[in-house]
Amino acid sequence: MIVLIGLVAAGVIAFALWPRSRTSTATASGDSETYRVDLTTSPRSGPVKTSVQVKRHDSGPVQLNEVVIDAVMPAMGHAMPQVVATRQNDRFEAHGELFTMGGLWDVSLRLADETVTVQIPVTEGQG
């Protein structure tokens, strides 16, 4: 119980000290074995536009039609329904709700049989 309280307190402190976005978007990057991913979205609750840039490490063509996005907030036990980003020229775009409240969210991007997980600090309410 004491450990759980300590973890929750550490999460609250980390969120309070997390740098606040001065722009309306946040970008997070990550890698899988094959891909480099840059996710750009609005760090707020409510429906948002999300853009995903996917590049192969070997500079080959990206042979994907969609990227499946899962957002979870481990500190609160929240999970959102999946959002699917579809190919729009050189990137993937999705519209939908990723976050329900402020806090640190883990966003997993499923690229065929590989997954990249990034963290997005949600600091703004609905916009």
Give the pLDDT score at 112.
94
Which residues have a Cβ under 8 Å from the Cβ of 77 and sit 6 or more positions away? none
Which tens digits make up the pLDDT trace of 33-85? Answer: 999 999 999 999 999 999 999 999 999 999 999 999 999 999 999 999 999 99
Structure tokens at 92: 């993937």
Strands (E), 11-98: 26-31, 35-41, 47-56, 66-73, 78-79, 83-88, 91-97
Residues 52 and 94: their CA atoms lie apart, in Å, by 8
Give the pLDDT score at 5.
60
Residues 98 and 79: their CA atoms lie apart, in Å, by 9
Give the pLDDT score at 50.
97
